[in-house]
Homo-oligomer: A and B are copies of this chain.
């Protein structure tokens, strides 16, 4: 695959394995679509699917899966701990390779329009695709959940971006949008003093005046007797791993505290690592296509 987009749709069914299998089936054995993972949670009564693909083929598979979920899931019967407003609750698109966040926004809008028309679903665009600031945050859109959406959706400020201004009788409403991949990055400090880790986290993170796409907090690793600045980088193309790392180092210096390690939790896009290596070596004109393994994905 030359271009790769990721999609992590959330469906409101975590118990009925037969229904789950029918939904997941939409992502199997499709050319240029690769099902990475799916996990269901009975308490949340929710299914989270992670899938990669060429944008066009991925789009078609997602549209098909949305249709299957609308057909199978009746939200009037749905009980679960996780907040939800629809049979398909949220559909984020995430650019991975040779696609931009603008491409992800465009793709999310195509999917939003298609599922609205095809399944008569009200669709809200959110995050980078949002049509207004109060719609960027998913929690804002979803507030009131399926039950409250019957009335909420009739208000002008909550008119859906696509589809009817009326809750779907069984499938509710869906949020579709684009976001960047999240990189979970932790830096270990050579101190057991949690206050120092917290103070550093506050300076490095966005809300404290730090890096724009960085959330962070101080954490004690009690078994090891050390502390950690635990971060989420919400757009690694703009707030690079190495920049967060070096900023933690700079702040730690004033306490005489050394960095003694770091960790990446879960998956990380190749580009984020290549960018890191390129920074520290000072690489000129390096291209992702020089990574031998990428030849296998073309």
Chain A interface (Cβ < 8 Å from any Cβ of B): 1, 4, 6, 34, 36, 52, 96-97, 181, 188, 241-242, 245, 259-264, 266-270, 273-274, 276-277, 280-286, 290-297
Contacts and interface: CB of A to CB of B under 8 A. Distances in A.
Contacts of A36: 295
A294 B96 CA distance: 12
Contact of A292 (B268, B280, B283): B268
Contacts of A280: 242, 276-277, 280
Contacts of A245: 281
A52 B292 CA distance: 10
A276 B281 contact: yes
When A and B form their complex, which 3 residue pairs have the shortest distance between CB atoms, in order from nearest?
A: A276-B277, A280-B280, A267-B292
Contact of A97 (B264, B268, B293): B293
A1 B296 contact: yes
A284 B188 contact: yes
A286 B270 contact: no
A122 B261 CA distance: 53
A52 B281 contact: no
B290 A262 contact: no
Contacts of A241: 277, 281
A238 to B, nearest CB: 18
Nearest to A283: B262
Given A273-B274, A295-B36, A268 B290 contact: yes
Contacts of A294: 293
Contact of A261 (B6, B188, B282): B282
Contact of A296 (B34, B261, B264, B268): B34
A291 B262 contact: no
| A contacts with B: majority SS | mixed
Contact of A270 (B188, B242, B259, B292): B292
5 contacts: A6-B292, A96-B293, A259-B282, A260-B282, A263-B284
Given A263-B285, A264-B283, A276-B277, A269 B292 contact: yes
Contact of A264 (B242, B259, B286): B286
Contacts of A181: 292
A179 to B, nearest CB: 15
A291 B276 contact: no
Contact of A273 (B6, B273, B284, B295): B273
A232 to B, nearest CB: 16
Contacts of A268: 290-292
Given A260-B282, A270-B292, A277-B280, 7 more contacts: A4-B296, A261-B282, A262-B283, A262-B284, A270-B291, A276-B276, A293-B297
Given A34-B296, A293-B297, A281 B262 contact: yes
A212 to B, nearest CB: 20
